[in-house]
Structure 1
Amino acid sequence: MKSFGKCLKKSISVIMAAAMVMATSSTTVYASSDSDNKISISMIDKYDSADTAAIRAIDTEQKLIRFRNHATGKTYTLSYDNTSMMYDVRGTVLSPSLLEVGQIVDVKFLKSTKHITSLNVSAQAWTIDSTRDHDLVRGDGTARVKGESYKMGARTLIIADGEPALADNILATDKIKVCGIDKEIYSVVVTSGHGYVSLSSDIVEDQSLVGAWIELDNEVIYKISPNMLLSAPEGDYNLQILGNGANYKSEVSISRNQETVVDTSEITINKPKEGLVTFQIVPESAEVFVDGEKVLTGIPQSVKYGYHNLKIMADGYITQNRYLKVGTAKSVVNIELEKEDDGSEASTNSLSTSSGSVDNSTSKTSMGTSHGDVASSKKSAASVASTVSSNSSASSSVNQVIKGYYIYFDEPYGAEVYFDGSYIGVVPTSVPKISGNHEIILKQDGYQTKSYRVKIDKEEDNVKYEFPGLVKIEEQSSSSGNTSSSGSNGSTSSGNASTEASSEASTGASKESPTEASSESSTAEASDKASSKEHSAGTEGSTTAAGTGKTTKESEKAGDAASTASGEE
């Protein structure tokens, strides 16, 4: 009887346990008894919470997955094991190692244990993979990808180098993967980023490279400016520097977030061709000036090929100003000055007929033809410049200088600022306000170089930026960050490209812009506070807030159990 009572008691316990489980889940619960009279209950498919979220990070070693709830912008972490069932969009069993950051999934889990019961790649989601056809900083709460407009807010998950980022950290040359549902973007992941290119010196053999052109396989075409720092898509390129006597070619490798310094000491300046010109002047006491510099007469003088201003003067004689064209290896200029008492009209005729030809045989008509050649050459050069300009800046026509107003950079203090590749100065500094899309690069020794893409409006007011502090480079990684076309000095990306505090909040265009310290909760509130008149033109953090980022009470309540399941609010 005791044995029977004991068995009856166990049976009642099993029934009660099964009833309790079935009360909290529609899932079938299986109870079994082994030879040792031990009862086991299967909890497979048991859940009390469900969510549609974007994958923030995957840790296959710890068996943890972090998610971003798009409705609230909150991040939470769940564990998984062999009982967690995962399927792709076709319903095929999926290994956790095949999941991707940014992917949108439907996840069911136990709120109490933070454990995944099942995960399905969302059938409602769409993905645009590896594209450079994007504009994420539009200032109206929208983004444009491959010609289509989508809603993009502060809750959109943006990942670069495995860390949270801002939309304005993504440059036009970066390749991105975009995931969303309907017309709303849930996640943006940078699949191919950018590095930086600079010159070890813009002076070579006493010749300035400023004004020459640097080209990377048509990906980057830029006119060299003093102390420039350019962004360039990561990858291998054929680099060319052309102009100012330079015609340098080299292979370079651009690594993400690292600076490649082109060693200009390897560049050879090809000096322009020169001809030997002998000036035979009457009287012999006359002084001859070529482009303002005095030269000797009677002996050969080295003069560059091309056109020059020639001035000949002597006491008691009429000063002659002529054009000199040098185009042969050796030539002689024979000129006889006219005395002042001979009358200016005769001297004018003399200037017109001889007109500074190298061999004193070029007529006025010949000089007119030569001038036509010069104009033709200038037109050709202008045509080339026009081609490069349209290739490097398709939006130049919409850029407008707002006279009397400036863009101020107040943070991070001490960082060097580069505006569209040109060096501006050290923070705090400013630049005249120019409307349109621009690229800001911040650089400081010992810190990771950072880029921002900003949109400046045409309003007649000043714009002020206070960017987040740069991330210090870890000592162990800085030693491996040297890259070059021929031994360049680079800066390595720190493993922690940004922190949750700085990257998931607004960039900060004014002192009112807050940073949510040590919180992974919704960034929409931070973006709302970041919006200001001074930054209405600015970065994604503020423009999103101005457009769609206001957190209403309804949206605060819209999150399901996922927003509170992790304790990471």
Structure 2
Amino acid sequence: MNKNVFFNIIYKAVSVMMIVVISVSGLVGCGSKKTSSVIPGSSILPAPTKSITDAPVNAKTNEITIEGVLSSLDKDAKKMRFVENSSGIEYEVPYTGGTDIQTKYGTKIAPSNMKPGEIYEVTCDKKGTALTIYGAKDAWERTGITGLDFDESTRKITIGSTNLVYAQKSVILSDNEKISISQIVKQDTVILRGVDSTVYSIVVDVGHGYIKFTGVSAFEGGYASIGKSQLVGVTDNMLVTAATGTYDLELDAGTMSGKKTVTVEKNKETTVDFSEYKLPVDEQGAVNFKVTPSNAVMTIDGEEVDYTEPVMLKFGSHVLTLAANYYEAYTETFTVSSAYSTKVIDMTSKSASTKSSSSSTTAASTSGYKVNVTAPAGAALYVDSVYVGIVPCSFEKKSGTKTITLTQNGYNTISYSISIANSSGDLNYAFPDMTKKE
């Protein structure tokens, strides 16, 4: 399906999706808890398309003038489309070989050198043919932006100490095709363009793909480094969103380590298998636990253990839990891969947790609530590269920006960024239907 058509379908179906979200919210909820429904990408509305002749004509000059973002260019038909900054209307503008096209610095350029996402001042005769198309002098451009942090509830973009807002009908592009703003993830490199403190276009300059890790049981509980840009914990069935490019992958879990090279292609999933790395099946290691408080009850793989002396465990991953009065419960998955190791754990006292909560509302606001993902049904859900389950399913609510990745056999893997507010109540997300692989 053409991406432009897909983009329009998303927004035309907004009202239908809202009904779907509300109607299925009971599938994976928390009883009568407060809930709210979110449609990713709905902070930007589709721009209505009109002919430039529908725009107002200046009575003095008998010309039509607009300032807006170049959203598409059809060189064969000699037509361009601009989303006007002030009205949010997308105007179709025909041009000719005689149309004067210049950059904001006065350099003449051909239509082929114009880039969708750039902001132009367009002047047409009253019949609608473009006379001049000049780069907007009041527009700015910021390139090489990574880790874009945006909040759809406020349309706010934060870059370091700079706060911007994006227009309700901003142009969001990837490979010159319109996408939803929620499809931009922190691994993408983008170009922002705007006027004053308002962003009118966001263009994905360097996109992302996916690394599927298999055969990593020997490294579970350890870490995976992807080049110099990412460090993630190793879990079973992990799928990592990464910027396009070639990377050295290094997996490390104590004495066990492995290294491979991977090339990530845009919107494609690359599988890297580490199954040749295996821990000796019958080999054991002694783990010396130093726990605070010393009277905490420890279970390993569901069985209570006495850790006053080193505990003998088979090589591989194990699930550890600790419980003690006046302390927060502790859970961790760790890997045994050496003959002897020491593990130090300091549990958090509930009094310290209460003090921390009083100084930060994050835990108090989101604690006990869930994020419910209800669509697309049957897709595998990953949150920040960690497998959660098959949709519909839920995960623990924590404030901040999360990368949601959806994958399903026969469909294109896709990621979304969601911004979870520091507030109480369950959240319900219904993502658009996935597109079938060509």
TM-score of the pair, normalised by structure 2: 0.67
Match of 1:427 in 2: 391
Q: Which of 59, 71, 82 is equivalent to 2:74?
A: 59
Q: Which of 242, 250, 269 is equivalent to 2:278?
A: 269
Distance 2:118 2:404 in 1: 30
Q: Root-mean-square deviation (CA), in Å?
A: 3.1
Match of 1:162 in 2: 176
| Equivalent pair of 2:244/2:265 in contact (CA under 8 Å) | yes
Residue type of the alignment partner of 1:268 = Y
Following TM superposition, by how much is the alpha carbon of 1:398 offset from its aligned partner in structure 2, in angstroms?
8.3
1:30-53 deviation digits (Å, cap 9, x = unpaired): xxxxxxxxxxxxxxxxx6311000
| TM alignment of 1:32-431, pairs within 5 A | 48-110=63-125, 112=127, 114-132=128-146, 134-137=148-151, 139-203=153-217, 208-243=218-253, 246-265=256-275, 267-269=276-278, 271=280, 304=284, 306=286, 377-378=342-343, 400=363, 402-431=366-395
Following TM superposition, by how much is the alpha carbon of 1:253 offset from its aligned partner in structure 2, in angstroms?
0.7
1:501-538 deviation digits (Å, cap 9, x = unpaired): xxxxxxxxxxxxxxxxxxxxxxxxxxxxxxxxxxxxxx
| Equivalent pair of 2:69/2:120 in contact (CA under 8 Å) | yes
Residue type of the alignment partner of 2:78 = K
- Please state whether the residue corresponding to 1:62 is helix, strand or coil: coil
Following TM superposition, by how much is the alpha carbon of 1:240 offset from its aligned partner in structure 2, in angstroms?
0.8
| Equivalent pair of 2:224/2:233 in contact (CA under 8 Å) | yes
Q: Structure 1 residues 129 and 322, CA, compared in 2 at 3 Å: closer, same or farther?
A: closer
Q: Structure 1 residues 200 and 70, CA, compared in 2 at 3 Å: closer, same or farther?
A: same
Following TM superposition, by how much is the alpha carbon of 1:25 offset from its aligned partner in structure 2, in angstroms?
8.4
Instruction: Decide which moves more: 136-145 or 82-91.
Output: 136-145
Following TM superposition, by how much is the alpha carbon of 1:238 offset from its aligned partner in structure 2, in angstroms?
0.8
Following TM superposition, by how much is the alpha carbon of 1:263 offset from its aligned partner in structure 2, in angstroms?
1.9
| Equivalent pair of 2:191/2:202 in contact (CA under 8 Å) | yes
Q: Structure 1 residues 76 and 445, CA, compared in 2 at 3 Å: closer, same or farther?
A: farther
Residue type of the alignment partner of 2:421 = D
Structure 1, gaps ≥5 residues long = 1-22, 28-46, 273-301, 310-320, 327-373, 383-396, 475-569
Following TM superposition, by how much is the alpha carbon of 1:192 offset from its aligned partner in structure 2, in angstroms?
0.7
Q: Structure 1 residues 69 and 243, CA, compared in 2 at 3 Å: closer, same or farther?
A: same
Q: Structure 1 residues 303 and 201, CA, compared in 2 at 3 Å: closer, same or farther?
A: closer
- Please state whether the residue corresponding to 1:126 is helix, strand or coil: strand
| Equivalent pair of 2:83/2:89 in contact (CA under 8 Å) | yes
- Please state whether the residue corresponding to 1:447 is helix, strand or coil: coil
Structure 1 segments of 4+ aligned residues over 4 angstroms from their partners: 23-27, 302-309, 321-326
Following TM superposition, by how much is the alpha carbon of 1:72 offset from its aligned partner in structure 2, in angstroms?
2.6
Following TM superposition, by how much is the alpha carbon of 1:120 offset from its aligned partner in structure 2, in angstroms?
0.3
Distance 2:197 2:159 in 1: 11
Following TM superposition, by how much is the alpha carbon of 1:178 offset from its aligned partner in structure 2, in angstroms?
0.5
Distance 1:52 1:166 in 2: 23
Distance 1:431 1:196 in 2: 21
Residue type of the alignment partner of 2:116 = V
| Equivalent pair of 2:104/2:136 in contact (CA under 8 Å) | yes
Instruction: Decide which moves more: 230-239 or 63-72.
Output: 63-72
1:151-181 deviation digits (Å, cap 9, x = unpaired): 2132111112322222222112211101111
Q: Structure 1 residues 86 and 307, CA, compared in 2 at 3 Å: closer, same or farther?
A: closer
Following TM superposition, by how much is the alpha carbon of 1:111 offset from its aligned partner in structure 2, in angstroms?
5.3
Distance 1:398 1:224 in 2: 30
Higher helix share: 1
| Equivalent pair of 1:137/1:167 in contact (CA under 8 Å) | no
| Equivalent pair of 1:87/1:119 in contact (CA under 8 Å) | yes
Higher strand share: 2
Following TM superposition, by how much is the alpha carbon of 1:24 offset from its aligned partner in structure 2, in angstroms?
8.9
| Equivalent pair of 1:418/1:440 in contact (CA under 8 Å) | yes
| Equivalent pair of 1:211/1:244 in contact (CA under 8 Å) | no
1:44-72 deviation digits (Å, cap 9, x = unpaired): xxx63110000112233332222112223
1:86-144 deviation digits (Å, cap 9, x = unpaired): 111122222111111111100012454x4211100011111001221531226323212
| Equivalent pair of 1:399/1:436 in contact (CA under 8 Å) | no
Distance 2:311 2:167 in 1: 64
- Please state whether the residue corresponding to 1:168 is helix, strand or coil: helix
| Equivalent pair of 2:371/2:428 in contact (CA under 8 Å) | yes
Following TM superposition, by how much is the alpha carbon of 1:75 offset from its aligned partner in structure 2, in angstroms?
1.9
| Equivalent pair of 1:245/1:269 in contact (CA under 8 Å) | no
| TM alignment of 1:527-566, pairs within 5 A | none
Distance 1:142 1:454 in 2: 13
Distance 1:453 1:241 in 2: 26
TM-score of the pair, normalised by structure 1: 0.52
Distance 2:380 2:89 in 1: 34
| Equivalent pair of 2:361/2:422 in contact (CA under 8 Å) | no
Q: Structure 1 residues 224 and 128, CA, compared in 2 at 3 Å: closer, same or farther?
A: same
Distance 1:61 1:217 in 2: 42
User: Are positions 1:449 and 2:413 aligned together?
Assistant: yes
Distance 2:124 2:309 in 1: 86
| Equivalent pair of 1:105/1:121 in contact (CA under 8 Å) | yes
Distance 2:142 2:370 in 1: 38
| Equivalent pair of 1:398/1:435 in contact (CA under 8 Å) | no
| Equivalent pair of 1:400/1:436 in contact (CA under 8 Å) | no
Q: Percent identity?
A: 25
Following TM superposition, by how much is the alpha carbon of 1:182 offset from its aligned partner in structure 2, in angstroms?
1.0
